[in-house]
């Protein structure tokens, strides 16, 4: 993210392994689309670290007009992204900045949807009020606003629509 942990992408059975491999390929594309300049040729597709480059999508995040922490670039670079068979949807453990994708994501075949999911989880850690549970509904309103207005993604802002997707207790 951020740092991708490809070694965590495993599923049960041959079919499961094939599907989780496909998800990993899609995740790599999503991270490249989010963090790297649009015309950057990524020669090594196995790249695991995705710091935000100046003309990338995430570099367009606007902390002046949205409640994004001033160190949002660092927050992204600190995040890790891994696969977890026991994860219901997608989730971020905010204090550790560990992001998890679960089997639900195996049904995704649209890289843009996956980008939105990753941005959503990341913004839980990058919003100004990310450390309190009080701001939970507020966070979702702001995240949806940032995804559509600031980053200009088409609706819906949150294709995964997870009801409880950030864990503040770790």
CB of 5 to Zn ion, least distance (A): 21
Backbone angles phi, psi at 100, to 5 degrees: -125, 140
Interacting span for Zn ion (CB under 5 A) from 48-56, 64-72, 101-109, 162-170: 162-170
Cis, bond preceding 156 (omega within 30 deg of 0): yes
CB of 90 to Zn ion, least distance (A): 8
Q: In DSSP terms, which residues pair with 101 in a beta bridge?
A: 83, 90
Q: Is 113 in the site for Zn ion (CB under 5 A)?
A: no
Binding residue for Zn ion, selected from 165, 167, 168, 169, defined by CB under 5 A: 165
Q: Write the DSSP assignment of 122-141 as a string of letters.
A: HHHHHBTTTT-GGGHHHHHH
Q: Is 91 in the site for Zn ion (CB under 5 A)?
A: no
Interface with Zn ion (CB under 5 A), residue total 1
β-bridge pairing 98-101 and 90-93: antiparallel
Pick between residue 115 and residue 165 the one whose CB is nearest to Zn ion. Answer: 165
**SS3 at position 35:** helix
Q: Is 142 in the site for Zn ion (CB under 5 A)?
A: no
Could you identify the residue written with the tokens 């670290």? 49
CB of 162 to Zn ion, least distance (A): 6
Binding site for Zn ion (CB under 5 A): 165
């Amino acid at each position: 993210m951020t740092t991708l942990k490809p070694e965590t992408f495993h599923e049960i059975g041959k079919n499961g392994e094939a599907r989780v491999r496909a998800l990993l390929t899609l995740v790599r594309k999503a991270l490249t689309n989010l963090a790297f300049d649009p015309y950057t040729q990524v020669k090594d597709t196995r790249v695991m670290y995705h710091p935000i480059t100046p003309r990338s999508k995430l570099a367009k995040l606007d902390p002046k007009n949205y409640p994004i922490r001033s160190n949002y670039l660092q927050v992204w670079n600190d995040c890790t992204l891994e696969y977890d068979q026991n994860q219901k949807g997608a989730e971020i453990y905010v204090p550790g900045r560990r992001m998890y994708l679960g089997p639900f994501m195996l049904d995704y075949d649209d890289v843009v949807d996956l980008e939105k999911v990753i941005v959503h989880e990341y913004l839980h850690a990058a919003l100004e009020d990310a450390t309190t549970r009080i701001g939970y509904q507020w966070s979702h309103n702001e995240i949806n606003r940032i995804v559509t207005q600031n980053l200009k993604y088409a609706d819906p802002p949150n294709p995964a629509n997870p009801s409880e997707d950030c864990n503040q207790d770790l």
